[in-house]
Structure 1
Amino acid sequence: MLKRWIRKPAPDPQHVRDLAAALRVNEAVIALLCQRGICTFDEAKAYFRPAVDTLHDPLLMRDMDRAVQRLTEALFQEEKVLVYGDYDVDGTTSVALVYSYLRPLFGPARIDYYIPDRYTEGYGISTQGIDWAADNGFKLIVALDCGVKSVDKVAYANERGVDFIICDHHLPGAELPAAVAVLDPKRADCAYPFKELSGCGVGFKLMQALCQAQGFDEAPLHELMDLLAVSIAADIVPITGENRTLVYHGLKRLNDRTRSPRAGFDALRQLAGLREGPLTVSSLVFGFAPRINAAGRLGDAKRAVSMLLAESAEEALAKANVVDKTNTERRGFDTRITEEALQMLEADQMLRNARATVLFKQDWHKGVIGIVASRCLDKYYRPTVILTESNGKATGSARSVVGFDVHQAIVECADLLDQYGGHMYAAGLTMPLENVKAFRERFEQVVAARLTDEQTIPPVEIDLPLRLEDISWSFYNLLHQMEPFGPGNTNPVFESTDVRIVPGSAKVVGNSHLKLTLTQEGSGNVEAIGFGLADHYDRITRGQHFSVCYTVDVNEYRGQKTLQLRLKDIGWN
C-alpha cells in the first residue's frame, strides 16, 4: 500500500549542539528530544529518569476529596464495597489494582469485585450488576474504566441505596451521573494537569489520595504499578507526562527478577514466549493484552481478574492456560470473520469504491468485531464500521484513519442509533436492525464530505535523516534509554537516502516479507527486514538506489545479537 512520508521539522541546530554538549549525548538523540518538546537539561533528566515523587497531587482531580471521604466512611463504618470494572484489559487491571490494595484494609468479607458480561449486560454499569450489589449488602460501588455516561444506571443505584464512586477516563456526556464522586480528568470542570490517564490510572490516583489522607505507606501501592503498565500499554493512551512515569516504573516492577513477579503476569510471559529479554510496551500490547482481552471477548472476564490476583505460580498458570486457550479460540473467530468481511468488500464494486466501510452480518461474533474493523482498516485504509446482531439489535465497532474523527461522524448519525460512544479513532454503537441500511448511507455521506484524499493514504512520520554509518551499538543504546515507547513517545523513525542492496542479499521470506542487507556510499553494511514489503523485490534487485524509512532494532538468532533495521517503507529516488 502506498504511504505518505511526513518529515518532522528539524529543531534549531544551535540549540541541539548546546544541549548535546551539556548532556554529553549524541546530537541525533538530542534532536529527537527537542522534537518531543524536551528542550532543557532538567526536562531531559526528568525524561530519562522519571521519578515517582513527580506524580501530580491526586487532590487536584475534581471530586477526589469527596471520593476519599466516602471511601474512608465505608472503611471505618464497616460497609461492604464492590469494585466494578469493564471487561477489557484496562477494566480488569483496574479491578485487580484497586481490589488488591483495598482487600487488606477492608478484609475479604467486606470487599468483592464484579465484571459485567459483555453479551447479557453490555458495556459499562448494568442494572443487573447494581441489583447484585444491593441484594448482597454492598453500600458502595467503585466503578473503574466506565460509568461517566451512566446517568440512568447511577440514578437507579441511588434508588436502591447504593452509592457510586466513578473512576473513568472517557469523554463525559452533557450530564454527569449523580454519583458521590465522578473522577475523570476529561471533565470540562476538572483542573487535573494530565488528561490522558487510563481507567486504571484514575483508580490508582484514588488509592494514592486515600494513602495520603490516612497517612498510609504508599510502597504497597507502588508494587501494583505492573498492572498500571499493562493497562496503559493496552489502552493505547499517550505514554507522555504522568503515564510515562507510571509505565517506566511498572515495567521496572515487571522486569525485576530479584523480587517475585506477579504470578499471573509470569504465567502470561511463559505462554506468550516472552522469557528472553526484558518486557517492553510492545510485549505487553502483543503478548499480554490479547490474552487478557480474550477472557471478556469470548467468556467471563472475571477469569482474567482471577488470574491477575492468583497468589501461587501453579494457580496462575492453570488460570492463564484457560485464558490462553480462549485467545486461541478468539484468533479462529477473528481470522474467519476477517476473511468473510474482506470477501464482502472485494465482491461488491460499490463497497470497494466507497469512502467508508460499513459491513453487517448477523452471525459474526460480537467479541471480535473491533479486531475485524482494525483488520479491514489495514487492508482498505478508510473509516470502518463492522456490525453484527446482538440481543435483537445491530451492534458494532468503528475504527478510523489518522486525522479523521470517526466519533464525530457517528454523532451525525445519532438519530439512527440507540447508543454510541468512544473517541476520535475508535467507537462503539448500537442501533435497531432496520436502521442498518440508513446508517450505512448516512455514514458514507458524512465521511465522503469530510475525508480528504490525503487522509486515505497511511502516513509514516519520519523523525530525522540518518546515514547508515551512524548506526552503532552505542547509538542504539542511547535510543533504548528513550523507552518506554508508545503513543506520544514513539520509537524514532529515520530516513536514509541513496541506499542500495548488497548484491545477492535480498530474499523474500514468509511470502510477503523482504530480508536484505543495505549499504550506502562511504558506510558499511546493515541488515534490514521489511514486513509486507516483498512487492519491492524485483525493483531493488536491479541495482537501483532507493530510500528507506525505518526503526533501529535488534535481531537475536541462536544467541547472537545484531543490529537490524525494521523498514517501514521503501521510496524510489
Structure 2
Amino acid sequence: MKKEWKTYTPNFRLVEKVRAQLDCSPIMAKILVNRRIYSGEKAAAFLNASLNDMRPPFAIKDMDKAVRRIYDAIVQQEKILIFGDYDADGITATTMLSEFLQETGAAVSYYIPHRTNEGYGLRDTHISEYAVPNGIQLIITVDCGSGDHPAVEKANELGIDIIITDHHSVPNPPNAFAVINPKRKDCAAGFSYFAGVGVAFALVVSLRKYLRDNGFWQNRPEPNLKNYCDLFALGTVADMVPLIDENRILLKTGLEVINSANRVGLEALLKISGLAHKEADAEDIGFKLAPRLNAAGRMGHAHIAVELLMAKDSRQANQIAGTLDEMNCQRQETEKRILAHILAYLDKNPGMLTRKTLVLAHPEWHEGVLGIVASRIVEKYFRPVFLISAKNGIGKGSGRSVPGVNLYESLSACSELFEDFGGHAMAAGLQIRVENIRAFREKFEHTVENMTTESHYSKIISIDDELDFYHISERLADELETLKPFGTDNPEPLFMAHNVAVTYSKILNENHRKMVLRQEKNKHSKSLMAIQFHINPSAPLPEHFEKIAFRVKWNRWQGRKDMQLIIEET
C-alpha cells in the first residue's frame, strides 16, 4: 500500500485570529483551522458544545405528519411496532423509541429481523406473517426502510400505516405514510450527518413537544430526553457518522450519561468490557462497547442486545452482558479465520492485487463478520473491497471503501445484477445471485476504475503540524483533550517529528513496543514516553527514526495519569 504524508498548511492570518480570540496555543489554533473552524466564536461553540446549541428538528420532511399519526396511535391505543436493524445503530434506535413510547403508555412492541435468516430491512412477509396476525396498526422503522417499496405497498393494501425513520441514501422514497430521512433530496432541514439513532432521537424530541402542546403531560411525568443520550452516543459512534454539530453536542452529553451509570444494562456492559473503573470515551464505545452490541446481530440475534439495554434487573443484565462478551469472542475468532483465508488466497494469487477493487466470495464465510473483515482488507491494500458469503445460490455481501470512492454510487451502476443493495459512501451491503458474482466483479472494477485516479489508492497520512519535542507539554495534552470526542470528521490530532532516537525499548504483549524517545534540536533535548502498537516483533527494531507520526495523549491507569506519545507511522 502506498502512503503519502501530507502536512496541513493553514492560513497564518486565520490561525493567528483564532489564537488571539480564543487565547489558546498556536498549535491548538492550527488544529482548529485544520478542522475548518475559522473564528474564536466558532471555536468556543465547538469546544463548549452544549444542549442549548441544538437546533429543533421539527423542520425535517414529514416530521409533522409522523408525530400527529403517532399521537393518534398513542391516544387510541393502537398497536405500534418498532421495526429495527440488527446493528448497534438499529439496536439503540429500537431501544430509544420503544422506551419513549412505553413512557407515554402506548401499546408498543419491537421486532428486529435475524441477519442470516431474514436479512436487512422490512419485507412484505413481515407485514403478512407478523404484523397482520399480531394486529399491528402502525409500524415505525428505525435505521432501515428507505428502499423497502414492496413491504410498504403490502402494508398499504392491508391498511397498516408505516412511518420510516432512516438515514441511508434514498433516491426514491417508498409511498409510506411518512418518510423521515434527512438524506431525502426534498429535505432541506439539515441533519444529514445523523445516524439512524439520531433520526429516532429527532422524532422523540418532536413527538415530546407535540404531546406537550396537546396537554398530554399534564397527567403523567414528561420524560427527560437527556436519559436517552447514552443510546444516542452508542449508536452514533458505532455507525461512524460525522461527529459535528448536533452529533457532537449529543455525544458529549451521552458520554456524561454513560459514565453516570444510570442504565442497568449499560453498567453491566461497561463492567464486562473492563470499563467499570474508567471514564468511558468515544474510543471506548467504538472499540469495546459497540463491538459487543454488534456481536448479537452478527453471531446470533440482535434482540439480545435490546434486552440488555432495556434490562431493569442487574442479575439479568450481567447474564446478558456475559453472553454478548462470549459472542464477541466468537466473532473475533471467526473474523481471524476468514481474514487468514483471504490473505493466503491473495498471497497465492498476486494478480488480484493489480486490480482497483477486490470482490471475493466463498460459501463457508460467516456473513455476520464480512463487513469487519472487508475493513481489514481495505486497511492492508487500500482499495474498495466486497466480500460475499455465497450459499444456496444466493450471495450476501458487505463492502468497504476508501475516501473519494462512493460505494453506494458504484453499486448503483451495477444495480441490475443485484436482488437488493443499500448503504453509504464508505460502507454498503448487497444480495446477489451466485451466477451474477463474476459479472459484478468485472462491472464494479470497471465502474470504480472510471471514477478514480492513482491518487485514490494512496493512503493519505494527514499531519496537523510538525511538532518538536520541546513544544510538547502537559498543558498541550490538556488542550488537546478539549477537542474530544474524536471520530469521523473530528480526527484526533496527528503530529510529525524528525530525527528521533530510541533510548529505551521493551516489547509488551508480543507485538507492542514501549519506548523512551529523545529528540535533540536547536540546542534543545527532550525525552518522552511512547508506545507503538501492532508491530512485527520478528522484524528489526529501529533505534532511530527519520520521522514519526504520533498523537499526544494522557495515559490514565489506577488513578495516575502520564503523558505519552502514540506512534502511528514511522
For Structure 1 versus Structure 2, the TM-score category normalised by the shorter chain is over 0.9
Q: 1:496 to 1:536 in 2, by over 3 A?
A: farther
The answer on whether the counterparts of 1:10 and 1:35 sit within 8 Å (CA) in structure 2 is yes
User: Which residue of structure 2 lines up, in the alignment, with residue 123 of structure 1?
Assistant: 120
Q: What's the secondary structure of 1:386's corresponding residue?
A: strand
User: Which residue of structure 1 lines up, in the alignment, with residue 313 of structure 2?
Assistant: 312
The answer on whether the counterparts of 1:80 and 1:138 sit within 8 Å (CA) in structure 2 is yes
User: Which residue of structure 2 lines up, in the alignment, with residue 386 of structure 1?
Assistant: 387
Measure the CA separation in 1 of the matches of 2:466 and 2:96. Answer: 43
Matched, 1:207 2:207: no
- Equivalent of 1:136, from 131, 134, 137? 134
Matched, 1:152 2:150: yes
Q: CA deviation at 1:538?
A: 4.3
Paired letter, 1:405:
N
User: Which residue of structure 1 lines up, in the alignment, with residue 181 of structure 2?
Assistant: 184
Q: What's the secondary structure of 1:385's corresponding residue?
A: strand
Q: CA deviation at 1:514?
A: 3.4
Offset from partner CA, 1:400-451 (integer Å, 9 cap, x none): 1222223322222222222221122111112111112222222233334444
User: Which residue of structure 2 lines up, in the alignment, with residue 8 of structure 1?
Assistant: 8
User: Which residue of structure 2 lines up, in the alignment, with residue 255 of structure 1?
Assistant: 259
Q: CA deviation at 1:18?
A: 4.0
Q: CA deviation at 1:480?
A: 0.6
Paired letter, 1:531:
F
Matched, 1:170 2:168: yes
Q: What's the secondary structure of 2:169's corresponding residue?
A: coil
Q: 1:391 to 1:89 in 2, by over 3 A?
A: farther
* Alignment RMSD (CA, Å): 2.0
Matched, 1:342 2:335: no
Paired letter, 2:550:
Y
Offset from partner CA, 1:129-173 (integer Å, 9 cap, x none): 223122111110111000011111111111122111111001103
Measure the CA separation in 2 of the matches of 1:6 and 1:23. Answer: 27
Q: CA deviation at 1:487?
A: 0.6
Alignment of 1:10-89 (within 5 A): 10-12=10-12, 14-89=13-88
The answer on whether the counterparts of 1:393 and 1:431 sit within 8 Å (CA) in structure 2 is yes
User: Which residue of structure 2 lines up, in the alignment, with residue 525 of structure 1?
Assistant: 527
Measure the CA separation in 2 of the matches of 1:104 and 1:509. Answer: 50
Q: What's the secondary structure of 1:279's corresponding residue?
A: coil
Measure the CA separation in 1 of the matches of 2:61 and 2:387. Answer: 36
Matched, 1:111 2:108: yes
User: Which residue of structure 2 lines up, in the alignment, with residue 480 of structure 1?
Assistant: 481
Q: 1:167 to 1:46 in 2, by over 3 A?
A: same
Q: CA deviation at 1:128?
A: 3.2
Measure the CA separation in 2 of the matches of 1:18 and 1:327. Answer: 48
Paired letter, 2:156:
N
Paired letter, 1:336:
R
Measure the CA separation in 1 of the matches of 2:299 and 2:534. Answer: 30
Q: 1:11 to 1:506 in 2, by over 3 A?
A: farther
Paired letter, 1:49:
N
The answer on whether the counterparts of 1:119 and 1:390 sit within 8 Å (CA) in structure 2 is no
Matched, 1:241 2:245: yes
Offset from partner CA, 1:7-32 (integer Å, 9 cap, x none): 222232x4433433333222211221
Q: CA deviation at 1:38?
A: 2.2
Question: Which one is further off, 229-238 or 23-32?
Answer: 23-32
Alignment of 1:187-198 (within 5 A): 187-198=184-195
Q: What's the secondary structure of 1:458's corresponding residue?
A: strand
Matched, 1:430 2:431: yes
The answer on whether the counterparts of 1:333 and 1:365 sit within 8 Å (CA) in structure 2 is yes
Q: CA deviation at 1:305?
A: 0.4
Q: What's the secondary structure of 1:519's corresponding residue?
A: strand
Paired letter, 2:386:
V
User: Which residue of structure 1 lines up, in the alignment, with residue 547 of structure 2?
Assistant: 547
Offset from partner CA, 1:186-243 (integer Å, 9 cap, x none): 1111011221111111111111111111225765222110000001100000000110
The answer on whether the counterparts of 2:163 and 2:176 sit within 8 Å (CA) in structure 1 is yes
Q: 1:201 to 1:4 in 2, by over 3 A?
A: same
The answer on whether the counterparts of 1:514 and 1:537 sit within 8 Å (CA) in structure 2 is no
User: What is the number of residues matched between the two proteins?
Assistant: 559
Q: What's the secondary structure of 1:238's corresponding residue?
A: coil
Paired letter, 2:37:
I
Q: Which consecutive unaligned segments of at least 5 residues does structure 2 have?
A: none
Measure the CA separation in 1 of the matches of 2:561 and 2:251. Answer: 26
Measure the CA separation in 2 of the matches of 1:390 and 1:83. Answer: 30
Measure the CA separation in 2 of the matches of 1:160 and 1:68. Answer: 22
User: Which residue of structure 1 lines up, in the alignment, with residue 224 of structure 2?
Assistant: 220
Measure the CA separation in 1 of the matches of 2:157 and 2:205. Answer: 30
Matched, 1:102 2:97: no
Measure the CA separation in 2 of the matches of 1:344 and 1:27. Answer: 49
Paired letter, 2:143:
D
Q: CA deviation at 1:533?
A: 4.5
Offset from partner CA, 1:290-346 (integer Å, 9 cap, x none): 111111112111111011000122121111111221111222211111111111111
Measure the CA separation in 2 of the matches of 1:82 and 1:423. Answer: 26
Percent identity, please.
35
Q: What's the secondary structure of 1:164's corresponding residue?
A: strand
Q: Which consecutive unaligned segments of at least 5 residues does structure 1 have?
A: none
The answer on whether the counterparts of 1:121 and 1:128 sit within 8 Å (CA) in structure 2 is no
Paired letter, 1:410:
L
User: Which residue of structure 2 lines up, in the alignment, with residue 445 of structure 1?
Assistant: 446
Paired letter, 2:34:
Q
Measure the CA separation in 2 of the matches of 1:20 and 1:378. Answer: 36
Q: CA deviation at 1:535?
A: 8.0
Q: What's the secondary structure of 1:524's corresponding residue?
A: strand
Q: 1:253 to 1:530 in 2, by over 3 A?
A: same
Q: 1:18 to 1:178 in 2, by over 3 A?
A: closer
Measure the CA separation in 1 of the matches of 2:235 and 2:525. Answer: 42
Measure the CA separation in 1 of the matches of 2:340 and 2:315. Answer: 38
The answer on whether the counterparts of 1:253 and 1:261 sit within 8 Å (CA) in structure 2 is yes
Measure the CA separation in 2 of the matches of 1:274 and 1:369. Answer: 27
The answer on whether the counterparts of 2:17 and 2:40 sit within 8 Å (CA) in structure 1 is no
Matched, 1:302 2:300: no
User: Which residue of structure 2 lines up, in the alignment, with residue 419 of structure 1?
Assistant: 420
Q: CA deviation at 1:559?
A: 5.4
Q: CA deviation at 1:539?
A: 7.3
The answer on whether the counterparts of 1:357 and 1:385 sit within 8 Å (CA) in structure 2 is yes
Measure the CA separation in 2 of the matches of 1:374 and 1:338. Answer: 10
The answer on whether the counterparts of 1:507 and 1:537 sit within 8 Å (CA) in structure 2 is no
The answer on whether the counterparts of 1:506 and 1:537 sit within 8 Å (CA) in structure 2 is no
Q: CA deviation at 1:34?
A: 2.1
Q: 1:556 to 1:105 in 2, by over 3 A?
A: closer
Question: Which one is further off, 136-145 or 415-424?
Answer: 415-424
The answer on whether the counterparts of 1:514 and 1:531 sit within 8 Å (CA) in structure 2 is yes
Measure the CA separation in 1 of the matches of 2:538 and 2:31. Answer: 29
Measure the CA separation in 1 of the matches of 2:2 and 2:531. Answer: 18
Paired letter, 1:423:
H
Q: What's the secondary structure of 1:484's corresponding residue?
A: coil
Q: What's the secondary structure of 2:224's corresponding residue?
A: helix
Q: CA deviation at 1:96?
A: 0.5
